[in-house]
């Protein structure tokens, strides 16, 4: 995901990135996607009514509708294996910069505290509402680099799923929560702003490294 006013990371990956750069991108994303849905699921018991039902609906898709092979975290593992990367959880923690960890830490922070439940669902909504187009570009970029249907399925799945999820997240989740808890409406917006800001900072750092011809990871060299 990248905000519209942020660096054109998804377009770069679609049209210009090398295979090594795409692998770096997947390494960054593994910090979140290998635990995808879990931090936001912590908000389920802290919600009620329509907002709770909406979050369960979104998360059900994230967990594959009860089919383990369709869980989004498992689809991402298939992408990693297709790129020759270690798909075990936490394998790449030592390779990513602080801004990558901040993206993951923010969603965990919001999910762990009941008082931040508004920020948690706002954070999720920001992801769902801005990810469909970038994922289409990621899929196209990976196909350009030789990725097969198994490797690109994670991105293809999000093009379809997030187009639906964005409506549920905006109206049934955040809208219902704000109506039930008007004093917490600002928390919802805060969570969304944190998600978009961290994504923009992360994308800017990655792009700046790539445009200088250096790696976006720690202690590595980008292949020619």
**For each successive 10 residues of the chain (224 residues), what is the average pLDDT?**
60 97 98 93 97 96 92 96 96 96 96 97 95 94 97 92 86 97 98 97 96 91 44
Contacts of 28 (CB under 8 A, 6+ apart): 96, 100, 202, 206, 216, 217
CA distances from 139 to 98, 154, 157, 180, 219 (A): 26, 8, 10, 38, 28
Residue ranges of domains in the chain: 9-211
Q: What CATH number matches the domain at 9-211, 3.40.50.1580, 1.20.910.10, 1.20.272.10, 1.10.1040.10?
A: 1.20.910.10
Compute the distance between CA of residue 127 and CA of residue 149 in angstroms, rounded to an integer: 24
What is the per-residue pLDDT for 6? 46
What is the per-residue pLDDT for 162? 72
What is the per-residue pLDDT for 36? 83
């Amino acid at each position: 995901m990248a905000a519209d006013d942020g660096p054109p990371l998804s377009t770069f990956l679609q049209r210009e990135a090398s295979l090594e750069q795409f692998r770096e991108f997947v390494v960054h994303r593994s910090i979140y996607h290998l635990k995808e849905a879990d931090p936001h699921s912590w908000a389920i018991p802290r919600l009620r009514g329509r907002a709770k039902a909406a979050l369960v609906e979104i998360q059900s898709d994230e967990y594959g509708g009860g089919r383990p092979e369709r869980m989004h975290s498992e689809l991402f593992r298939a992408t990693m294996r297709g790129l020759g990367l270690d798909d075990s959880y936490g394998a790449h923690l030592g390779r990513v910069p602080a801004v990558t960890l901040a993206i993951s830490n923010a969603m965990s922070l919001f999910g762990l505290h009941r008082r931040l439940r508004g920020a948690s669902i706002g954070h999720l909504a920001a992801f769902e509402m801005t990810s469909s187009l970038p994922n289409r570009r990621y899929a196209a970029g990976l196909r350009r680099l030789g990725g097969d249907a198994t490797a690109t399925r994670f991105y293809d799945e999000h093009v379809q799923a997030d187009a639906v999820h964005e409506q549920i997240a905006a109206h049934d989740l955040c809208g219902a929560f704000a109506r039930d808890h008007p004093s917490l409406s600002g928390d919802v917006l805060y969570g969304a702003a944190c998600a978009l800001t961290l994504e923009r900072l992360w994308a800017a750092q990655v792009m700046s490294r790539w445009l200088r011809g250096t790696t976006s990871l720690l202690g590595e060299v980008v292949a020619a």
